[in-house]
Structure 1
């Protein structure tokens, strides 16, 4: 073993502060695993600019949605310029390119969205007609459904620049995923965690996806040691729901799954209209993540979700 050459694993990532922070945290974990199991591996970060990072003046729903943050990174992996990629799972499209796979879902952190306000106000206490900034049709739909008086406006940019818009653009509040704030060490900025009953998270929110090549058995072995089976199961249920409805950033769609001590998964899925007038929600239980995702998607389709999605896409 001592004669084998040490391999350097090239880790691709977007170059935002959050992407680099969470990639650094993943590398630290992989280094610990590598040392614990006597694997001769070292790690190096490769920053990649994605189309989603370049187009900041248009809403995601108008320029192509989720794939905008992963396509260039996936191409670099297919070209063997990088070996693994660290994604926020909510940015990963359901269908992955041929030859690539999701090698690990590490332990998921809090999936909830949170509200950031200047005065530390809660959602209920926001003034009538308050301006709320969010990058997500899913959030806008659910918050507008709960409070039709609110003005939901689209904001883009990294989480630090979105928080700054409270001052620079006069928003009363912005809504962000608590996972990003947690990984940056900024949870003290949150005024309130939005309960999942009010705002169902995005598919995979709070989880990371570590993508790799299917034929790279050494990396697949490493990632299998990093995978958290519980997080992987619930995320699989949510993603199967997403795939069944062919959803993405262009439509208000969300799903959140939890698992109990007996291994039973509870999955809640939502589909709504962008203006918040219509919001369909279904919850089901089961032990097979794939079957459960399909079941919740079918239940929503029966209630008219397909019609809503077709109208939004049209």
Structure 2
């Protein structure tokens, strides 16, 4: 009898919901049983701001260690948390179809951003969201918050905050879309590269499992996030950076006629500098399109913003 696959996951409600979804999809597609194995990461036990503890990798390193130590067979990550540099001996074998990557507002009294009075307090743990909120010029007070979705929402219901900004995909996976008071247009709030997408990772040497997991892969999602994450890599920025990117694929009528459109933004922490660009090209050139867009942003001065604000020392993970 084939033993169940061991799927490594963080223990938060959102991570467990994401991993259960992947496990159920894998079982439905292959008939293979999957057991969840909870792994604690440094990002789960630290209350420090993400930018302080390094951002990129703080939610994934312990999961990768569990893979390399053969304590789990595969791991599920939020793709936006995954470093852009490939991990040695590990492979992202599948990127399932992406959920809606947009950000949302959850505010008191069902208010939208435009309806919130000047001076209203908006919580977010993301420098990217904070920078773009300030760039809107709505005179909102943006304050840092950490914690799971319930902890953050409680700050609104208690009156401590007037609103919080979260990822729509996470609320959807938790069945909490009823709390959303506004879905933010990407023209206002460009999502994080890879937001809404998941990465299913396993050991490169486990070729049979790599092939098995490929059934979960969505090529259009992989192309879109490849462009976004290439942009991030060229800018040498991390998941806690004030960098937004959003790529979409328009399917053409003829073979090899699909087009990829990607927008990118780099915004200074005070919102005073906002550099936004976009490019379009064949979907099979996704990586090059990301590089081209990054180059356009750098040509317009993005390097100064990135260099000044994103060179944050990283700390090691603990498990």
TM-score (norm 2): 0.93
Distance in 2 between residues matched to 1:74 and 1:117, nearest whole Å: 36
1:301 matches 2:292: no
Structure 2: any 5+ residue segments left out of the alignment? 253-257, 312-319
In 1: Cα distance, 2:245 partner to 2:89 partner? 27
* Partner residue in 2 for 1:101: 91
Q: 2:269 aligns with which of 274, 292, 299?
A: 274
> Which whole-Å CA distance do the structure 2 matches of 1:166 and 1:104 have between them?
36
Distance 1:246 1:138 in 2: 15
Please, which of 182, 193, 196 is the counterpart of residue 183 of structure 2?
193
Q: Choose from 130, 139, 145 the match for 1:140.
A: 130
Q: Distance in 2 between matches of 1:65 and 1:215?
A: 28
Query: Is 2:237–2:310's contact at 8 Å kept on the other side of the alignment?
Result: no
Distance of 1:63 and 1:122 partners within structure 2: 32
Instruction: Give the match for residue 114 of structure 2.
Output: 124
Q: Is 1:91–2:81 an aligned residue pair?
A: yes
Pairing 1:54–2:49 present: no
For 2:214 and 2:292, locate their aligned partners in 1 and report how far apart those are by CA, in whole Å.
28
User: Match of 1:34?
Assistant: 30
Give the TM-score of the pair, scaled to structure 1: 0.94
In the TM superposition, residue 165 of structure 1 has moved relative to its aligned partner by 1.2
1:103-133 Cα distance to aligned partner (Å, 9 max, x none): 1111111100000012000111111111000
Would you identify which runs of 4 or more consecutive aligned residues in structure 1 move more than 2 Å?
none
- Match of residue 34, structure 2, among 43, 47, 55: 43
**Aligned twin of 2:260:** 265
Q: Secondary structure, in 3 states, of the residue corresponding to 1:295?
A: helix
CA distance in 1, matches of 2:179, 2:137: 23
Are the aligned partners of 2:261 and 2:281 in contact in 1 as well (CA < 8 Å)? yes
Q: Provide structure 1 residue ranges, at least 5 long, that are not aligned to the other structure.
A: 36-40
Q: How many equivalent pairs are there?
A: 304
Give the counterpart of 1:286 among 246, 256, 281. 281
The Cα shift of 1:8 comes to: 2.1
Tell me the residue number matched to 1:219.
Answer: 209
Q: Distance in 1 between matches of 2:33 and 2:22?
A: 13
**Structure 1 residue 148: Cα displacement:** 4.8
